[in-house]
Amino acid sequence: MSASNLKTNILITGATGSYPSLYLILRVRISTRLVQHPNAASFNITALIRAPEKAKFVRQNFGVNVVEGSNADLDRLTQLAEQADIVLNVADSDDLAAASALIQGLKNRHDKTGVKPTLIHTSGTGFLVDDARGKFATDKIYHDSKPEEIENGVADSALHRNVDLVVINADRKGWVRGLIISPPTIFGMGSGPLFDSGLVNKHSLQIPLLIKTSLARGRGAGMVGEGKSIWNHVHIDDVAESYIVLLDAVLKNAGAVPHGREGIYLLENGEHKWYDISRAVGKAFVELGLAKSDEPVPFTEADLEKYIGSSFMGYLALGSNARGRAEQIRALGWKPKYTTGDLYANIKPEVEVHARAMKAAA
């Protein structure tokens, strides 16, 4: 708590990396939940926003402090974090420099006040992936209540892991209380004033990537390999709610909240095979007159290189396995609302949006 105003100073940062749209959706969702929180009057919320037009919109419509800048402004990140009791880092999971700058600021705060601040860092279940390329489903399921499963089963070189380990190490040294939220496939489109303004892309990553790649190729729905691999999924609103659950738990009794090596919070509310997603995309294509068959046609490596720009990314995002169980966040009271049925119900609207955009761009 800040001694000067007895409010909890909360800093929320955003993405400047490879997949900004997803993180922007999430950041807007979290910001909305924060300003609507029952205890919002006790929060002093600061948001770091790069684009001036978005900064102006958020300042006028969300009632939070806005600092114009990006995650590339490392000195500014450090300064802002030094003023924060809690940092919500909703940024590129692989931005090591930004995460390190935030941790330095929180360390400075700890050194000056003797109070341990909290960092809620955004990672992702990409660190669980294998090289299945759609050829098989794994039976390996990670449980976040058993940190040894991740430590023994995940290489330090795995995706996102280098940044996660920096957070965990800072926690071990006592500088910060490090909590790591790791969402799987995120579905659902952004809605609300900022999205309606056209200033922010309202789509997530993996399923839109599958849809857009299939549309661009023009051979109906695609898939990687045989589509046998499995991922968990979660709705964007349920992801945003997980940050609020962790925030409330920290404010209520920070010492009782698992952190550091025990503070990885997987998210999920169901699983999907990528074949089933591709088949649903194919069904939407048929209903919209975009294809004659709903049966997925495998992407070639050349397809992935041409339409995604990287076969590695295609195999990773659409052909790997990443299975986990969100036990810890549920124990703190997280109750996701959206189901696997909602995931499939969202696919046709996604196809419609991307098909219109491609037609307009032609």
In angstroms, how far is CA 159 from the centroid of its own chain? 14
Band the pLDDT of 49: cuts 50, 70, 90. confident
| Percent of the chain clearing pLDDT 70 (strictly above) | 92
The CA distance from 19 to 28, in Å, is: 15
| d(C-alpha 258, C-alpha 77), whole Å | 25
Q: Which domains does the chain have, with CATH numbers?
A: 8-187+233-266 (3.40.50.720), 203-232+271-322+337-357 (no CATH)
Residue 200: what pLDDT?
Answer: 57
Tens-place pLDDT, residues 250-286: 999 999 999 999 999 999 999 999 999 999 999 999 9
Kindly report the pTM of this predicted structure. 0.94
User: Running DSSP on this structure, what letter comes out for residue 19?
Assistant: -
In 3D space, the residue among 317, 261, 273 whose CA is nearest the CA of residue 144 turns out to be: 261
DSSP secondary structure of 88-99: EE-S-TT-HHHH
100 pLDDT tier (thresholds 50, 70, 90): very high
Q: Are strands 271-273 and 230-235 parallel, antiparallel or unpaired?
A: antiparallel
Q: What is the pLDDT at residue 3?
A: 43
**DSSP classification of residue 142:** E
Handedness of CA 130, 88, 242, 254 (dihedral sign): positive
| 295-333 per-position pLDDT tens digit | 999 999 999 999 999 999 999 999 999 999 999 999 999
> For 16-25, 126-135, 350-359, which range has the lowest pLDDT when averaged over its residues?
16-25
Question: Average pLDDT over the chain, rounded to whole?
Answer: 91
Q: Quote the Cα angle for 131-133-134, to 5°.
A: 125
* Alpha carbons 56 and 66: distance in angstroms, whole number: 8
pLDDT at 4 over 50: no
